[in-house]
Amino acid sequence: MKLDPSAKYVLDRLRGAGFPAWAVGGCVRDSLLGAEPADWDVCTAALPEQTAALFERVARTGEKHGTVTALLDRPIEITTLRTEGAYLDRRRPSGVSFTGDIRADLARRDFTINAMAWSPEDGLVDPFGGRDDLAAGVLRCVGVPKERFSEDALRILRALRFISRLGFEAEPETDRAMRECAPYLKEISVERVYSELLGVLRGKHVDAALLGYPEVVTAAVPELAPTVGFAQHSPHHIYDVWEHTVRAVAAAPEDEAAVRLTLLLHDMGKPSKYRMDETGRGRFRGHGAAGAEMAEACLRRLKTDRETREEVTTLVKIHDEPLPDTEAGMRRLLAKLGERQVRMLIEVKRADGSARAPASAESRLQRLSEGEALLERVLAQKPPLTAAELKIGGAELMELGVPSGPEMGRILEALLGETLDGTLKNERGPLLARARELINE
């Protein structure tokens, strides 16, 4: 086990003061997997007061539950060993009591692969067979799965997150309990649900996770329920709306959370917009706009930050519109969305396109690469995309006698519009001449 230097310092310091201490949870799991742990957690028999006294700088946010964060090269969370009382409200334990027993602390943890501890003195402490499950790729609750998910339903989404990240399979009893207890997710705070949902979406094995557990996903995002099994009756599609959705999510880059979130929601408007045409083909006219409305409501309910909500909603709305095929059209799109969002739109369309029937995917992806080439060509010309980038501004217009205010705004917008269209050059002379004409209009 390769200990992080800050974690090693914490373990040494606690042991030196006579308190048993272990690295615990995710860092042990990830180390055994040969992966770099995202953060290092330590548990100890020392009480929070005793822990805090051993380090120069600490943050004491989670003190109620016995957590002290030592502020070292990297912050290390140090938690006093504890057991939890019964869960009465399916959210939090009725009480927490400190213990000196590492096994008792590990027993309250969610999955065997997360219920291991390690110290230089004891080596691996693994009372529930976490190491074997890790080697076999098995996700297994500590204790009776149904009880553990009834205590805290967020664990179901955590399970899905580990399945998505690690490609593991839930053992049969854990699998069954995930499905049976999924309705309890409605009782969990939306902030916790949203954050785990993003974790699920970021996984490398997101397709297996989402396709394997539609009842879990739709418990968290009920708006998606009608898409599951919804046949498209279209030559462009070989999957139902849900499977298409999942394959699109999985086709997008793992680190693009907003793009993956967009793809999860992109076709949620399809079931309500379904019509069969004269030839017996499924049509979904207007599903982008309908989906955007649903996505907006859904993201508000999940308390998604405003920037992400607006980005995702816009992308859902226009995901099915073709990209512009002229320079002017591309400039207008850039002015409206900004470069970042146009690039996101391309990622969305690429993933959406690749999850279609092969012939349809091929033609979509072909058109998309033409759109992308057009985007690069337009960006290379560094066109003005906002009024502020025009070669004349408020000062020049004032000299022409335009008062600042709505009139000035109107003229600047008109000038920008014409440069975007390509009918006006972004040069002082032409801009001033055109401004004079606009003043008299």
* By the rule CB under 6 A, 25 interacts with ligand ATP: yes
Binding partner of residue 347 among Mg ion, ligand ATP, none, CB cut-off 5 to 8 Å per kind: none
Using the rule CB under 6 A, which residue among 54, 154, 160, 170 binds ligand ATP? 154
Q: Are 364 and 353 in contact (CB under 8 A)?
A: yes
* By the rule CB under 6 A, 114 interacts with ligand ATP: yes
Contact stretch for ligand ATP (CB under 6 A) within 33-41, 173-181, 313-321, 360-368: 33-41
Q: List all residues 6 or more positions away from 207 whose beta carbon is below 8 Å from its beta carbon.
A: 246, 247, 249, 250
Least gap, CB of 196 to ligand ATP (angstroms) = 9
Report the residue number, 168 or 242, with the smaller CB distance to Mg ion. 168
What span, in angstroms and rounded, lies between the C-alpha atoms of 4 and 356?
45
Burial of 44 (0-12, 13-18, 19+ CB in 10 A): buried
Binding partner of residue 154 among Mg ion, ligand ATP, none, CB cut-off 5 to 8 Å per kind: ligand ATP
Helices 306-318 & 339-354, crossing angle to 10 degrees? 50
Nearest to 307 by CA among 346, 344, 270, 269: 344
Contact stretch for ligand ATP (CB under 6 A) within 110-118, 289-297, 326-334, 418-426: 110-118
Q: Give residue for tokens 């009834």.
A: 150
Distances (CA, A) of 292 to 50, 259, 303, 310, 424: 53, 14, 16, 10, 35
Least gap, CB of 37 to Mg ion (angstroms) = 8
* By the rule CB under 5 A, 75 interacts with Mg ion: no
* By the rule CB under 6 A, 110 interacts with ligand ATP: yes
Using the rule CB under 6 A, which residue among 152, 207, 267, 311 binds ligand ATP? 152
Using the rule CB under 6 A, which residue among 8, 17, 26, 190 binds ligand ATP? 26
* By the rule CB under 6 A, 129 interacts with ligand ATP: no
Which 12-71 positions form the footprint of Mg ion (CB under 5 A)? 26, 39
Here the tokens at position 296 are: 């907006």
Least gap, CB of 161 to ligand ATP (angstroms) = 7
Report the residue number, 26 or 75, with the smaller CB distance to Mg ion. 26
Binding partner of residue 109 among Mg ion, ligand ATP, none, CB cut-off 5 to 8 Å per kind: ligand ATP
Distances (CA, A) of 179 to 138, 198, 223, 293: 17, 20, 18, 29
Distances (CA, A) of 40 to 3, 15, 122: 9, 17, 18
Nearest to 313 by CA among 268, 273, 364: 268
Angle at 271 between CA 269 and CA 273, to 5 degrees: 70
# binding residues, ligand ATP (CB under 6 A): 12
Q: Which helix (H) or strand (E) holds 398?
A: helix 394-399
Interface residues with ligand ATP (CB under 6 A)?
25-26, 38-39, 41, 109-110, 114-115, 152, 154-155
Interface residues with Mg ion (CB under 5 A)?
26, 39
